[in-house]
Amino acid sequence: MNKPTPAPSPLQDNLDKILETVPPDCVAPDKCRKIRDLICKQSDVLPTWLFVEAVEQVPVAISITDRQANILYVNHEFTQVTGYKAVDILGENESVLSDKCTPKIVYQRLWHEITSKRIWNGRLVNRHKSGRRYLADLIITPIIDDQGQISHFIGMHRDITQSYELEEKVKNQKTLIESVLNSSPIAMAVLDSDDQVILENQMYKTLVSDLKLREPAAFFLQTLRQEMGEQWEVLHGAHKSFAHREIRIDFGGSRAPRWFSCSGNWFFENDISAGAFFNAGKKEYLLLTLHDISLQRKQQEELHIQTLRALMAEEEQIQSLRETMLGVMHQIQQPVNQIQAALQLMQNKGDAQHEPVYALLRDIQQCGQTTLATLQNCMPGPKQTAIAPVNINKVLHEVIMLCTDKFLASGVIVDWQPTPVLPSLLGSEMQLRTLFKQLFDNAVAAMRRAGSDERILKIATHHENDLISVAIEDTGPGIPPHLRQKVFEPFYTTNGAAGYRTGVGLVMVKEIVNRHHGIISIDPEYRQGCRFIVSFPLNRNA
Ligand code: FAD
């Protein structure tokens, strides 16, 4: 069944009639004026008492004045806000409301605007009838008569003392928080869910120029995500904080490395956008703190280098003893092998006549074997070192520091070009240090031997596709193509003049690389000297 159409109200009926009389080409302001005039003419549609009641009951303090601001009318709310009843204030000037602490210039501007037939809106300090000060948010509108002249003013104001106090309290708290954050020696940044920095302290700003990074937070976040892997997602998902994650940045050249202890805290804030008014939502933020601990780490590193220097000296002595013993064993092994061959020959011939010589040779051969076994037993083995996450940049930087005296004495310039942040690989720090020291020593020796005018040792690190590689290049004579395999064989040396080396350095280097599942090669493309490339896979135990 169809619903009966409700009968139009007389008010609606009249309004429709009025609207019909407005010409369709009438522009907006003219249209409004036209409608107003028509309504005024038909006082039965909207009677005057309705306008008066509307003004009387509206919850805004309203006053109507003459052109000199002498009050002609006040509504009920005006009495509530100012404390003045109509009988107290009609005929008085609006200035009775003034607390006299509003600067003159404010009134001058106010009057300039309203006498220019424009609406003025601003804040004035008013005095309640009781003497209490309050802050008024006031709008003054000039009323224009038919001749286009100002006939009256309407003032509308609200007491905004409380909301102003609240606003100021928030501002003060913000200033306080900002000054506390800015005085902190720790860099802090608040990031939104799109990783955009929305708040940062002074210390964070200094990092921008200090680290020459456009957005340090983006750099640290990327590194932390890489270092923490799945753990990042787990913590983020559970909104658990992380603390004291150390990040080392190597800049290369003569710039010292920097260390930062990073912590993060996820927190929520109520969404204050208009859209969230009925659908309260929360926004997620991350407070990232970056504590520069470079000074402490530098001091620790200096102490560490001193210890390493002693350790490496000891290791070098042992290594040189090993090399000497290996050389001796190599020397003994040759005649022992020859005697063994001679014995084999004599045995094959079945020559009984030379049995005494045969017995003597057998004794010599046995004696040689015993000596070799004794030497082998006496040989100091490689030091057993713990397998732990190793930062290759750190190891290389330490070895550069350890070799600084040698570089200076040999006139070698070091060009250190690390990838700023490298992931750790599992390995033996001690062995890797020995490996790189051997390669540096070889490079320096080669450049000295060749008497190169320009002695540059360039050390660079790279990280790509779960592979860390180190390129060590010198400006020495290089290694000819036919010897590039041979140099990794035992007892092969191009360093004959130096005398004391026995050609086992690169054998040991290769051994260490193998133990770390890595690869070592000599770059055939490099022509200015020699370039060794050592690559290690990540996520493999040594
Ligand atoms: P006044 O001598 O009254 O005025 C100070 C300056 O205002 C003068 O130097 C002059 O440049 C300018 N001025 C004053 N009257 C006129 C005029 N008729 N024509 C041109 N310029 C003029 N003030 C409040 O403090 N609180 C209010 O809530 C408030 N409400 C107002 C509401 C309306 C509708 C109007 C029209 C004015 C209102 N005023 C209000 C302003 C008020 O009239 C005074 O100008 C103001 O309070 C300063 O008072 P006074 O005695 O210190 O100085």
User: By alpha-carbon position, which residue is closest to atom 21 of ligand 1?
Assistant: 111
User: By alpha-carbon position, which residue is closest to atom 47 of ligand 1?
Assistant: 95
User: By alpha-carbon position, which residue is closest to atom 51 of ligand 1?
Assistant: 95
Is the beta carbon of 493 within 6 A of some atom in ligand 1?
A: no
**pLDDT band at residue 326, thresholds of 50, 70 and 90?**
confident
Report the percent of the chain where pLDDT is more than 70.
Answer: 88
Report which ligand 1 atom has the smallest distance to the Cα of 153: 34
CA distances from 466 to 11, 56, 361, 428, 539 (A): 80, 78, 57, 18, 8
User: By alpha-carbon position, which residue is closest to atom 13 of ligand 1?
Assistant: 111
Report which ligand 1 atom has the smallest distance to the Cα of 65: 34
User: By alpha-carbon position, which residue is closest to atom 15 of ligand 1?
Assistant: 68
**pLDDT band at residue 500, thresholds of 50, 70 and 90?**
very low
- For ligand 1, the distance from its centroid to the CA atom of residue 121, given in whole angstroms, is 14
- For ligand 1, the distance from its centroid to the CA atom of residue 519, given in whole angstroms, is 88
User: DSSP letter at 385?
Assistant: -
Is the beta carbon of 159 within 6 A of some atom in ligand 1?
A: no
More confident residue, 346 or 238: 238
Contact between 65 and 94 under an 8 Å Cβ cutoff? The reply is yes
Best-predicted range by mean pLDDT among 43-57, 259-273, 326-340?
259-273
pLDDT score at 378: 86
pLDDT score at 465: 84
Report which ligand 1 atom has the smallest distance to the Cα of 95: 47
pLDDT score at 1: 39
- For ligand 1, the distance from its centroid to the CA atom of residue 322, given in whole angstroms, is 102
Lowest-confidence range among 139-143, 215-219, 452-456, 525-529?
Answer: 452-456
Mean pLDDT across the chain, nearest whole number?
87
Q: How far apart are CA 295 and CA 298, in angstroms?
A: 5
Is the beta carbon of 74 within 6 A of some atom in ligand 1?
A: no
Mean pLDDT of 172-198: 92
CA distances from 454 to 410, 441, 478, 497 (A): 11, 17, 14, 21
Is the beta carbon of 65 within 6 A of some atom in ligand 1?
A: yes
pLDDT score at 43: 64
Report which ligand 1 atom has the smallest distance to the Cα of 138: 28
Closest CA to 510 of 531, 490, 481: 490
> Is the per-residue pLDDT at 497 higher than 50?
no
End-to-end CA distance of the chain: 86
User: By alpha-carbon position, which residue is closest to atom 32 of ligand 1?
Assistant: 155
Q: Is 50 exposed, middle or buried (0-12, 13-18, 19+ CB in 10 A)?
A: exposed
Report which ligand 1 atom has the smallest distance to the Cα of 69: 36
User: DSSP letter at 70?
Assistant: B
User: By alpha-carbon position, which residue is closest to atom 18 of ligand 1?
Assistant: 68
User: DSSP letter at 93?
Assistant: B
Report which ligand 1 atom has the smallest distance to the Cα of 63: 34
pLDDT score at 499: 40
Amino acid at 310: A
pLDDT tens-digit profile of 251-299? 888 888 999 999 999 999 888 888 888 888 888 999 999 999 999 999 9
CA atoms within 13 A on the CB side of 360: 4
Mutate to test the pocket of ligand 1, among 60, 95, 158 (most ligand atoms within 8 A of CB): 95
Q: How far apart are CA 236 and CA 195, in angstroms?
A: 13
More confident residue, 201 or 279: 201
Is the beta carbon of 106 within 6 A of some atom in ligand 1?
A: no
pLDDT score at 333: 87
User: By alpha-carbon position, which residue is closest to atom 1 of ligand 1?
Assistant: 95
Lowest-confidence range among 2-11, 108-117, 181-190, 440-449?
Answer: 2-11
- For ligand 1, the distance from its centroid to the CA atom of residue 89, given in whole angstroms, is 15
CA distances from 358 to 240, 333, 347, 372 (A): 81, 19, 9, 21
- Buried/exposed 407-417: b ≥16 CB within 10 Å, e otherwise: beeeebebebe
User: By alpha-carbon position, which residue is closest to atom 4 of ligand 1?
Assistant: 107
pLDDT score at 31: 66
- For ligand 1, the distance from its centroid to the CA atom of residue 110, given in whole angstroms, is 8
**pLDDT band at residue 426, thresholds of 50, 70 and 90?**
very high
Is the beta carbon of 433 within 6 A of some atom in ligand 1?
A: no
> Is the per-residue pLDDT at 323 higher than 50?
yes
Mean pLDDT of 465-480: 93
> Is the per-residue pLDDT at 417 higher than 70?
yes
Lowest-confidence range among 68-77, 489-498, 521-530?
Answer: 489-498
More confident residue, 330 or 144: 144
Is the beta carbon of 138 within 6 A of some atom in ligand 1?
A: yes
Q: How far apart are CA 211 and CA 294, in angstroms?
A: 13
Longest dimension (CA), the chain: 155
Closest CA to 530 of 416, 445, 462: 445
Residue that the structure tokens 């320096």 belong to: 444
Mutate to test the pocket of ligand 1, among 68, 98, 141 (most ligand atoms within 8 A of CB): 98
Residue that the structure tokens 């799109």 belong to: 194
Is the beta carbon of 157 within 6 A of some atom in ligand 1?
A: yes
Contact between 401 and 257 under an 8 Å Cβ cutoff? The reply is no
Question: In 3-state terms, what secondary structure has residue 533?
Answer: strand
More confident residue, 275 or 242: 242
Is the beta carbon of 115 within 6 A of some atom in ligand 1?
A: yes
Q: How far apart are CA 308 and CA 429, in angstroms?
A: 11
User: By alpha-carbon position, which residue is closest to atom 31 of ligand 1?
Assistant: 94
| Token representation of residue 200 | 């940062």
Report which ligand 1 atom has the smallest distance to the Cα of 111: 21
Q: How far apart are CA 325 and CA 375, in angstroms?
A: 7
Q: How far apart are CA 313 and CA 319, in angstroms?
A: 10
CA distances from 17 to 24, 35, 40, 279 (A): 14, 11, 14, 42
pLDDT score at 239: 86
- For ligand 1, the distance from its centroid to the CA atom of residue 306, given in whole angstroms, is 81
Q: How far apart are CA 436 and CA 443, in angstroms?
A: 11
Report which ligand 1 atom has the smallest distance to the Cα of 114: 36
Amino acid at 222: Q
**pLDDT band at residue 27, thresholds of 50, 70 and 90?**
low
